[in-house]
Every structure is written in structure tokens, then in C-alpha cells.
Amino acid sequence: MSKSAPQSPDVSSLSGTVQIVASLYNNRYTDALVESAQETLAKLAPDLNVQTTRVPGAFEIPVVVEAVANTETSPLAIIALGVIIRGSTAHADLIAESITQNLQQTSVTHLIPVIHEVLLVDTTEQAETRALGDELNRGREAAEAAVAMIEVMENLPD
């Protein structure tokens, strides 16, 4: 696991919409991820319209991401947030793999950056480190990646 994220992008004058789709499950951690992502987006790109949609669990994230990407006024980026804590069966791994494949497919099909921070962790301690920590905060990193990818997409040649 990498503990060093890319440098945070500079404050930007981007305007448009960023959609956050987040699970309600494991809400102690997902709420923290959402809050951190929203705060970071407000700092890095204050003119962005940030909309948040909550879904019951991580498995429901991809269908809402696809629906959002398929709207007439699609967002500049979509951030997917959730926390899956492994149990003693393969269920968590199957869910995580499905989510990853579907989020990637939506991103490529619609040419919209989909930032995947649906975390698969082994323990609540790992979830705390990634969602509640200051040094390694995946909500913050998701927002930084979204802003960076919006800028990349806007600067691609026509």
C-alpha cells in the first residue's frame, strides 16, 4: 500500500458539477470520506457545484454512477466513495471486483473521470487510517484526483 499520494493540485477556477456517490454502509467511515472530499473540493475549486448522492451499500454505487454519467448534463467528474470490510468469506472480494470493473467501464464509455475510492480493507483499523486519518485520507485524495483529472480532460487536444 502506497502512503504517498501525488502532490495536491493548485487552486483552480474550474466550474461545473462534480458528483459524489457514496455508500451509507459503514457510515462512520463513508461519512468521513464524503466530508473530506467535499471540503477539499471547496478549497481546490470553489466554483464547482458538488452534488452528493447516498446509496444503501457499496454494491449500489456503480448503477448510480452510470445513471449520473448518462445524464444530458453529465458531471465533469464522479467520485465513488465507500468502505467494504472483509469478513471470513469471499463476498467482499466479489463485491469489490464488480465495483471496480463497473466503475472503470462507465469512465471509459462516457469519457468522464470516475474516481474510485470504494475501499476494501481487512480491519476497522485500516478503515480508520484511510477515512479518518490526516496523513492518508482517501476522501481528500479522491477530491484531489478529481480536480487533476478534470484539468487533464479539459486540456486534451480536440
Evaluate whether 46 touches 10 at the Cβ level (below 8 Å): no
91 is catalytic: yes
Structurally, how many domains does the chain consist of? 1
Q: What is the CATH number of the domain that holds 64?
A: 3.40.50.960
Q: Which of 15, 70, 91, 109 is catalytic?
A: 91
Q: Tens digits of per-residue pLDDT, 36-85?
A: 999 999 999 999 999 999 999 999 999 999 999 999 999 999 999 999 99
H/E stretch holding 120 reads strand 114-121
Q: Residue 133: what pLDDT?
A: 81
| This prediction's pTM | 0.92
Taking the C-alpha atoms of residue 37 and residue 43, their distance in angstroms, rounded to an integer, is 10
Evaluate whether 118 touches 59 at the Cβ level (below 8 Å): no
Residue at 80 is within a domain: yes
